[in-house]
Amino acid sequence: MQMASSFSDASECAGEEKRVGTRTVFVGNHPISGTEAYIAQRFCDNRIVSSKYTLWNFLPKNLFEQFRRIANFYFLIIFLVQVTVDTPTSPVTSGLPLFFVITVTAIKQVGDVVEVQADETFPCDLILLSSCTTDGTCYVTTASLDGESNCKTHYAVRDTIALCTAESIDNLRAAIECEQPQPDLYKFVGRISIYSNSIEAVARSLGPENLLLKGATLKNTKKIYGVAVYTGMETKMALNYQGKSQKRSAVEKSINAFLIVYLFILLTKAAICTTLKYVWQSTPYNDEPWYNQKTQKERETFKVLKMFTDFLSFMVLFNFIIPVSMYVTVEMQKFLGSFFISWDKDFFDEEINEGALVNTSDLNEELGQVDYVFTDKTGTLTENTMEFIECCIDGHKYKGTTQEVDGLCQTDGPLAYFDKADKNREALFLRALCLCHTVEIKTNDAVDGPIEGAEFTYISSSPDEIALVKGAKKFGFTFLGNQNGHIRVENQRKETEEYELLHTLNFDSVRRRMSVIVRTQKGDILLFCKGADSSIFPRVHNHQIELTKDHVERNAMDGYRTLCVAFKEIPPDEFERINAQLIEAKMALQDREEKLEKVFDEIETNMNLIGATAVEDKLQDQAAETIEALHAAGLKVWVLTGDKMETAKSTCYACRLFQTNTELLELTTKTIEESERKEDRLHELLIEYRKKLLHEFPKSTRSLKKAWTEHQEYGLIIDGSTLSLILNSSQDCSSNNYKSIFLQICMKCTAVLCCRMAPLQKAQIVRMVKNLKGSPITLSIGDGANDVSMILESHVGIGIKGKEGRQAARNSDYSVPKFKHLKKLLLAHGHLYYVRIAHLVQYFFYKNLCFILPQFLYQFFCGFSQQPLYDAAYLTMYNICFTSLPILAYSLLEQHINIDTLTADPRLYMKITGNAMLQLGPFLYWTFLAAFEGTVFFFGTYFLFQTTSLEDNGKIYGNWTFGSIVFTVLVFTVTLKLALDTRFWTWINHFVIWGSLAFYVFFSFFWGGIIWPFLKQQRMYFVFAQMLSSVSTWLAIILLIFISLFPEILLIVIKNVRRRSARRNLSCRRASDSLSARPSVRPLLLRTFSDESNIL
């Protein structure tokens, strides 16, 4: 059903970047008082335009984006010069390739009340009014929005829960005020005012738990009623269509640098030819020969203007040195190459039935250039499968293992009690575990299929909470669900207790705790709070901390995740004040989060500590092997986590980030609190650590990566508070260079652990390393929403498809199911992507210099008359047809080293880091090679033409035959050069390489075999066929190709000889080592068990 309503909007309908103010949605016939003025409202329809372009803006918008590229803009200028100035080549020669590149790249509601049935998709963003359930809840899956397949619970406000029929909805009169549309899927601020027979309206706050998003699907609920607040292009789904900021790879930056170099070469060639032309014409006979007299207009032309037009003409003649088609080839290589990651079966995870996903193909080669890896711990290095291990109540230990396995509770042996606490305190602690959480109960139904062995299943966005609720169940307290704002708990005596849920103080990564305020059946009001020890201990009485603190630290040393539990009783008069503050903050439309945080901070004070819990998060499969491989590849791995230092430290040993021989340097609150003035103590430690590391790694060390294996390994541990002290040190302090000293220490350490990190601090760490000297390439990998900031900040962001939702995967450049997949992604795919595209870039500049250098040399033999050496068809087709497909196939399929070898020997990764293949040395090699070959092409053909007659009948070849011979040698040489470089041959390589050569020959016969009616001059008619009728021409072409490729062939032979010699020496050395000494088995076993003793 639909009901008329209207919007009050402070801004235009859609597409505005900044939206201010609020909007109001009226439901039903809203009464207007005599003092109110009625204004007709404007609102958007429910259409969504997800395409980047429209029919009207496609041409201007796409052209603007295309011509922002240097090469495209350059060729546009050349094309315009050819059109306006009398140039030696046709505008088609530059216009057609430019048109081809651009074309290929270019192809590359409203207050209505809506009824939605089960398994239907919400048509717009709705505020939930009611559902078929008595408590006004519904279950929703948001897989199409954020990839999360688990059910989420949404709630209706208590005043509209009973409106379950169309008739009751029809009588509803309400006004919804909410924020303007914004793309964050997990944030919403609003309030609803419900009008009844009374004059005063009842106002309730609205949050993300009340908002049903367009694109989400209703599950396990027969039907719901909701009112539309955002429609069409204003829905959160539509607003999320806009892409993230573009990241540029190191290869792109190298391309731009090479373009500038070649543009300088082009300008130099044009300037030289222009200067020499006028030097040549300084002789009267050369300036105006008898057979080519100047016109009166030419004689009167201003000489400076003539020189300028000549300079532009030479620019046009040599403009093909800039490889415009390289951009479209690079784009195609990146796009097509990204499918190899998605298709890789090794990345497929049977547990989630998904593989890897490429969100952007622009950074494929950057995977082969990573210097620093920043990784989250929970859910990334660990499974995020929580297992309840033990708890302590008032310092007394209770041990029992329950594990979350498909919704069932399992126990490893009987429960163990160690000197039990008071019975009432036990019950209070277990009630806290059953009440302080956001766990929901999912009953069995036909929608998702029955679950055997259980009447219901616990569901939550956090595996920790499910493990704790199940741990409480094992000790006799069972959470039975939340219905109509009342939580039911079954105690040890099998009695059902009921608590009224008054308020939930939700968890956030800044507070690092959550609380609930409940009312017991006796009327007592209690606050239960659970959170990290660092956020709980400062808020409880000091004398209660010591007993629990020992257990927490011991559990953390064992690698367990710990949470502390506290409570306090709230007097009725104090609750009235708290309730008013919470309602006021929840009703705020501006700065709601800040106001709530302030109220939460005031409420969660003077609590009583009850105890703590210990939950184990198992290490992911092959996480340790992956980190070892990354270290061997020369990458520095940093773990950035919000966990306690002891817990994170144990995990780092378990995953071999820290080895048994790694010396740890600590910069934590514990180490700097030894002094009264923290900054002084911090400065002392920084200086001490720097001296130690500089002594170990002197400046003369050529490569830190190689030095790691030759010197003592160091690891650094720092926590969030110390990092804040380093980044925000006082300006008047003499040690305000903390940051630079800290970075010097970090660069010398093989591994760094940052614990107690807030999400913003994770991003700050990444940004700090990004800005180091040399601009190292950073990669961040995580699985949760708290990792999004560092994923977006780094050069390459990897999202784990984990159990904390899909926010990280949605905001990443690449997403993989497990951390172990990072090894092959970097060492194999990244390595090959970089080698392929680096070769592609160098090859494009090489073949274009080979192409245009003979044209430049030809000017010295034609009086600098701007006479083209090649026919216009060859100029146009060279980059588009004759030489494009072989390099594209190479850049997609080449495997110079087998994939298994790349993953087995991580040290190979070090050979390509630092953009090694696009540095000055390789660039100069390719440039000189092209200069050599271009010179051979021209002068080899020139010497051939010293004999004026190349046929027995005495016919003399002309300049177009000369150019055709040069061009034929050129095409065959650059194509065969690529064949020599190819190590991994497939039928596709054979087809495109030999097919391109065959196509060139066919085209040349075809182009010269017909008199084309649209050409004014038939200068190529029968030239190619006549040229190949000469035996001398055949011999010359074959000889020139061999001479051009001889340096490459010689280099390949030398490399192969050296490689075989090295292999022979290595095998001999291994044989002599095995014969000279056989180590005993005992030391190996001792070393193995010694290593294992430090691994959890």
Where do runs of H (alpha helix) occur along 558-665?
A: 572-587, 592-603, 623-632, 645-654
Write out the two tokens for 888: 């594209």
Q: What's the rounded Cα separation, in Å, for the pair 404 and 143?
A: 23
The neighbouring-strand residues paired with 527 are: 517, 568
Asked whether 968 and 1030 are in contact (CB, 8 A), the reply is no
Q: How far, in Å, are 301, 455, 864 from residue 297 at the CA level?
A: 6, 100, 21
Cα distance between residue 231 and residue 917, in whole Å = 51
DSSP conformation letters of 1-17:
------EEESS-SS--S
Q: How many Cα atoms occupy the beta-carbon half-sphere of 402 within 13 Å?
A: 24
Which residues lie closer than 8 Å to 62 by C-beta, 6 or more apart? 53, 102, 106
Annotate 786-854 with DSSP letters as a single string.
Answer: GGHHHHHHSSEEEEE--SS-SHHHHTSSEEESSTTHHHHIIIIIIHHHHHHHHHHHHHHHHHHHHHHHH
In angstroms, the CA 453 to CA 407 distance is 9
- 544 conformational bin, left if phi > 0, alpha if psi -120 to 50, beta if neither: alpha
Tokens 């499974």 sit on residue: 383
Strands 751-755 and 714-719: parallel
Rounded CA separation 951/944 (Å): 12
CB 908 within 8 A of CB 902: yes
The helix/strand/coil state of 417 is strand
Q: Give which of 1053, 821, 868 is closest to 967, Cα–Cα.
A: 868
- Measure the CA–CA gap between 389 and 369, rounded to whole angstroms: 41
DSSP conformational letter for 121: B
* Enclosing H/E stretch for 73: helix 70-84
The rounded distance, in Å, linking the Cα atoms of 784 and 461 is 11
DSSP state, 860? Answer: G
Verify whether residue 445 is a known catalytic residue. no
CA distance 69 to 58: 18
Q: Are 974 and 850 in contact (CB under 8 A)?
A: yes
- Let me know: does 606 contact 539? Beta carbons within 8 Å: yes
In a 3-state reduction of DSSP, which class is residue 464? helix
Q: Which two tokens stand for residue 688?
A: 């001490």
Tell me which of 376, 617, 787, 813 is the catalytic residue.
376
In sequence order, what are the beta bridge partners of 456?
A: 443
**Percent of the chain that is helix, strand, coil (3-state, to 5):** 50, 20, 35
Q: Which residues of 518-529 are buried (b: 16+ CB within 10 A; e: fewer)?
A: bbeeeeebbbbb
Q: What is the DSSP annotation of 940-975?
A: HHHHHTTSSB-STT--B--HHHHHHHHHHHHHHHHH
Q: Which two tokens stand for residue 320?
A: 């093909």
Q: What is the rounded distance in angstroms from the CA atom of residue 532 to the CA atom of residue 641?
A: 13
Q: List active site positions.
A: 376
